[in-house]
């Protein structure tokens, strides 16, 4: 039987049909999203940025920037992560210039990544309790009034904090009683870093390579790196009628730096310096926000109302997609209307008049938004699964045209990017999750004398179901609206429903994580032409630096004075509130009635799922921006309310003032560089102010 080849015109017709289908898909997908995706495109080649400069940079960050990050976290509730990154880059570029050397984009990004990662991890070791281990925060818990009143101080396991009050009074981490806690910190950090890198890479492949989400926050670091790279190169200069001028990126970066210097001196510099020299710091701009909840409680019951005066929030609003910020503001307005209504219908029953913003936010999550957010998250997962399925179906049809003229594999991995095989992602994640569970079993056995198997079942659920799903949903929200997704009280509800009796369960190194934000780092590396191997090599260098620097400087800061104390306004204001809330939560596994038994409400989950699916369907049918729906989700008790108003103000200024002056495309290129410079200026002020703090604490009073 003779075989016949398919006529060429059939291939052409098939190709034309698929192209028409793709065009319709892109149109329905979202024009604004594609605009943000094309705002900055990756270069054609990738370089390895790991070098001796990266090694010296890591040592510099560990020695000088880690204590600054810790101190600013205690002072203002925010680290100097972005600030430390830019200060480090500028310093090393200047050193390289005097050595007649030029740092490439990949080398600069590797330094940028090293500084950012060290700052994030340093803050986690300093009282930001989100399931991690924090020596300084745990010493406070053991001595807090809330834990003592609840009878929890004596029940904290020895591998969390020493039980001897005499040990805590010495304010020293370099004691034998702290070894179990520090050992667990080391284990969690090492395994967590590997887990975060590998699963974060897998999420990046899915959301960026397959779904092609825009990741609006990624160009901030990438554009700033290009600005510094161009500034150090002679190619950034060009002759004109007005003489030699620098590239536009460097000019914009410099303007942002000046703005950051001026605002940073007022916002952070003044209270930091005066706090070191005077009994009480002088604060002109409230840190971190002004709370109006107690005043508005009579008119807006159960609604958290506050306002931040941080200029950085305004700039963030300019960077994020306009419709995403608008949706967030709409979500806030909906919350301000919905919460009093829910209170009127006896749904938000925990709120009482006089509660502040923190307590109101906590209680509303407990009564309603915990279950509602689960439903909304499921809707995001369904929308994501639909988008991925549609993309794969289109890709499968295109594969039939392989070998024809003009064929392009849209899922092809760029050559030289440093990708790893997909099976390694699954194998690595299985090993790290298993180690979490095994260590938790050991700690349960040491503490209770037996292993409570329902808890192990919950950990298996976290490791192989919840963490991958919530990380993917968070990566999608990060890729569209620049905001990570969180579902409150999942851990609390599952622990209480497990039937476990005791406190140790709350401090176990469970595989309960959200790695969605790691996708932004990978996107930044791609945009700057940095091989992913640079990041993985840097991780091997980071762990010992973070461990030694984080623990060492935590010890030094603790030696300076009690934490929290008057010189640390954020810690003094928030830590006791957080401890009181956690005392309620932790005591729920000691027996008796607890509010969390009623937190998981199937009907509320159904409402969240139904409204989420309906919202995506209606907006898709009407052709409304996808950003808008994700922004609304971000505003429904997902984002702290005091940040929303300044971000919306920034979005309005960017859309209706600066875009009209510079044009939409040009403005989208300018604002990430401006914000990068602003962060740099804030960092310089923070570094200067911290110099006063450590200088003042180095003075020794003599009795003559």
Chain centroid to Cα 410, Å, comes to 29
With cut-offs at 50, 70 and 90, classify the pLDDT of residue 411. low
Query: Mean pLDDT across the stretch 653-667?
Result: 89
For position 650, what pLDDT does the model report? 94
Q: Which residue has the higher pLDDT, 233 or 161?
A: 161
For position 110, what pLDDT does the model report? 85
Burial class (CB in 10 A: 0-12, 13-18, 19+), 345: exposed
What six digits make up the tokens of 671?
Answer: 């604002």
Closest CA to 79 of 67, 70, 91, 92: 70
What six digits make up the tokens of 28?
Answer: 């329905």
With cut-offs at 50, 70 and 90, classify the pLDDT of residue 499. confident
pTM of the model as a whole: 0.71
For position 208, what pLDDT does the model report? 84
Query: Mean pLDDT across the stretch 566-593?
Result: 74
For position 670, what pLDDT does the model report? 86
- Is 669 a residue whose pLDDT tops 70? yes
Taking only the tens place, the pLDDT of each residue in 308-325 is 899 989 998 998 888 888
In a domain, 345, yes or no: yes
In a domain, 5, yes or no: no
Taking only the tens place, the pLDDT of each residue in 164-211 is 788 888 888 888 888 888 888 888 888 888 888 888 899 998 888 877
Residues in the chain: 704
With cut-offs at 50, 70 and 90, classify the pLDDT of residue 120. low
Chain centroid to Cα 543, Å, comes to 19
First to last CA, the chain: 111
Alpha-carbon distances of 383 from 21, 212, 369, 484, rounded to whole Å? 20, 14, 20, 16
Burial class (CB in 10 A: 0-12, 13-18, 19+), 701: exposed
CA distance 475 to 484: 7
For position 79, what pLDDT does the model report? 55
Residue carrying structure tokens 């095989």: 421
CA distance 650 to 482: 15
- Is 124 a residue whose pLDDT tops 60? no
Query: Mean pLDDT across the stretch 526-535?
Result: 87
Query: Using alpha carbons only, what angle is made at residue 304 by residues 301 and 308, rounded to the nearest 5 degrees?
Result: 145
In a domain, 334, yes or no: yes
**Among the listed ranges 28-37, 125-134, 175-184, which one has the minimum average pLDDT value?**
125-134
DSSP 303-348: ---EE---HHHHHHHHHS-HHHHHHHHHHHHHHHHHHHHHHHTTSS
Please name the residue ranges forming H helices in 345-369. Answer: 357-364
Q: Which residue has the higher pLDDT, 456 or 488?
A: 456
Query: Mean pLDDT across the stretch 616-621?
Result: 77
Q: Which residue has the higher pLDDT, 246 or 684?
A: 684
Query: Mean pLDDT across the stretch 376-392?
Result: 72
Query: Mean pLDDT across the stretch 535-560?
Result: 80
- Is 235 a residue whose pLDDT tops 60? no
In a domain, 405, yes or no: no
For position 125, what pLDDT does the model report? 44
Q: Which residue has the higher pLDDT, 144 or 691?
A: 144
CA distance 210 to 208: 6
CA distance 330 to 638: 13
What six digits make up the tokens of 661?
Answer: 């002056």
- Cβ pair 507, 439 in contact under 8 A: no
Query: Mean pLDDT across the stretch 33-44?
Result: 72
Please name the residue ranges forming H helices in 400-499. Answer: 422-448, 453-461, 467-481, 490-497
- Cβ pair 170, 597 in contact under 8 A: no
For position 354, what pLDDT does the model report? 87
The alpha carbon torsion through 330, 336, 339, 342 (nearest 10 deg) reads: -80
The one-character DSSP state at 267 is I
Taking only the tens place, the pLDDT of each residue in 587-606 is 878 765 556 656 667 888 88
For position 648, what pLDDT does the model report? 93
Q: Which residue has the higher pLDDT, 240 or 274?
A: 274
In a domain, 9, yes or no: no
Average pLDDT over the chain, rounded to whole?
77
Query: Mean pLDDT across the stretch 643-659?
Result: 92
Burial class (CB in 10 A: 0-12, 13-18, 19+), 241: exposed
In a domain, 651, yes or no: yes
- Cβ pair 478, 638 in contact under 8 A: no
What six digits make up the tokens of 167?
Answer: 């040990």
Query: Mean pLDDT across the stretch 135-159?
Result: 83
Query: Mean pLDDT across the stretch 526-534?
Result: 87
Q: How many Cα neighbours within 13 Å face the side chain of 196?
A: 21
For position 222, what pLDDT does the model report? 77
**Among the listed ranges 406-410, 507-511, 597-601, which one has the minimum average pLDDT value?**
406-410
For position 315, what pLDDT does the model report? 92
In a domain, 412, yes or no: no
Rg (CA), the chain: 26
Domain that holds residue 79: 47-350+358-394+420-697
Q: Which residue has the higher pLDDT, 323 or 86?
A: 323
Number of domains the chain is built from:
1
Query: Mean pLDDT across the stretch 78-85?
Result: 60
Residue carrying structure tokens 């020293």: 172
563 torsion bin: left (phi>0), alpha (psi -120 to 50), beta (else): beta
CA distance 246 to 229: 12
For position 262, what pLDDT does the model report? 93
In a domain, 276, yes or no: yes
């Amino acid at each position: 039987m003779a075989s016949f080849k398919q006529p060429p015109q059939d291939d052409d017709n098939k190709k034309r049909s698929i192209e028409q289908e793709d065009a319709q898909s892109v149109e329905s997908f979202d024009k604004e999203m594609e605009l943000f995706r094309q705002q900055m495109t990756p270069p054609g080649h990738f370089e390895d940025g790991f070098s001796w400069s990266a090694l010296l940079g890591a040592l510099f960050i560990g020695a000088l920037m880690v204590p600054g990050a810790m101190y600013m976290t205690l002072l203002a509730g925010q680290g100097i992560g972005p600030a430390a990154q830019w200060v480090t880059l500028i310093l090393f570029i200047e050193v390289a210039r005097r050595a007649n050397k030029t740092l490439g984009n990949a080398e600069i990004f590797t330094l940028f990544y090293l500084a950012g990662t060290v700052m994030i991890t340093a803050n986690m070791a300093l009282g930001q309790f989100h399931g991690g281990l924090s020596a300084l925060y745990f010493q406070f818990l053991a001595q807090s009034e809330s834990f003592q009143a609840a009878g929890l101080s004596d029940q904290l396991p020895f591998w969390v904090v020493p039980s001897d009050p005499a040990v805590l009074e010495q304010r020293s981490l370099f004691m034998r009683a702290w070894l179990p806690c520090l050992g667990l910190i080391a284990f969690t950090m090492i395994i967590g870093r590997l887990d975060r890198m590998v699963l974060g890479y897998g999420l990046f492949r899915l959301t960026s390579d397959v779904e092609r989400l825009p990741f609006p926050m990624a160009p901030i670091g990438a554009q700033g790196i290009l600005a510094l790279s161009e500034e150090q190169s002679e190619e950034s200069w060009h002759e004109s009628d007005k003489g030699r001028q620098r590239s536009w990126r460097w000019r914009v970066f410099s303007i942002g730096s000046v703005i950051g210097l001026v605002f940073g001196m007022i916002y952070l510099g003044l209270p930091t310096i005066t706090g070191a020299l005077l009994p009480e710091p002088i604060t002109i701009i409230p840190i971190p926000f002004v709370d109006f909840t107690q005043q508005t409680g009579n008119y807006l019951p159960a609604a958290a109302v506050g306002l931040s005066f941080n200029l950085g929030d305004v700039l963030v609003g300019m960077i994020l997609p306009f419709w995403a910020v608008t949706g967030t503001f709409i979500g806030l307005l909906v919350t301000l209307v919905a919460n009093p209504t829910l209170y009127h219908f006896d749904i938000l029953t925990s709120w009482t008049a006089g509660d502040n913003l923190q307590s109101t936010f906590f209680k509303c999550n407990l009564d309603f938004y915990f279950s509602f957010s689960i439903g909304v998250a499921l809707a995001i997962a369904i929308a994501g699964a639909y988008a991925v399925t549609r993309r794969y179906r289109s890709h499968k049809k295109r594969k039939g045209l392989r070998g024809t003229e003009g064929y392009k594999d849209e899922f092809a991995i760029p050559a030289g990017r440093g990708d790893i095989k997909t099976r390694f992602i699954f194998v690595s994640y299985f090993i790290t999750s298993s180690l979490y569970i095994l260590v938790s079993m050991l700690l349960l056995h040491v503490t209770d004398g037996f292993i409570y198997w329902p808890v192990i079942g919950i950990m298996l659920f976290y490791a192989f179901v919840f963490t991958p799903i919530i990380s993917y949903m968070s990566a999608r929200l990060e890729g569209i609206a620049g905001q990570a997704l969180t579902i409150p009280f999942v851990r609390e509800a599952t622990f209480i429903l497990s039937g476990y009796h005791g406190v140790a369960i709350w401090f176990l190194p469970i595989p309960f994580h959200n790695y969605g934000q790691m996708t932004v780092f990978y996107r930044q590396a791609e945009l700057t032409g940095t091989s992913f191997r640079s990041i993985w090599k840097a991780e091997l260098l980071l762990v010992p630096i973070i461990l030694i620097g984080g623990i060492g400087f935590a010890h030094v800061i603790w030696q300076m004075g009690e934490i929290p104390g008057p010189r640390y306004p954020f810690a003094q204001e928030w830590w006791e509130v957080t401890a009181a809330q956690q005392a309620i939560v932790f005591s729920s596994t000691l027996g008796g009635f607890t509010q969390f038994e009623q937190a998981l409400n199937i009907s509320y989950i159904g409402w969240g799922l139904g409204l989420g699916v309906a919202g995506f369907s209606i907006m898709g049918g009407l052709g409304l921006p996808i950003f808008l729906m994700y922004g609304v989700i971000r505003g429904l008790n997902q984002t702290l309310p005091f940040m929303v108003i300044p971000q919306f103000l920034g979005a309005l200024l960017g859309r209706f003032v600066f875009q009209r002056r510079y044009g939409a495309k040009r403005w989208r290129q300018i604002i990430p560089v401006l914000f990068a410079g602003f962060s740099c200026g804030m960092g310089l002020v923070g570094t200067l102010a911290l110099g006063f703090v450590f200088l003042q604490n180095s003075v020794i009073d003599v009795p003559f």
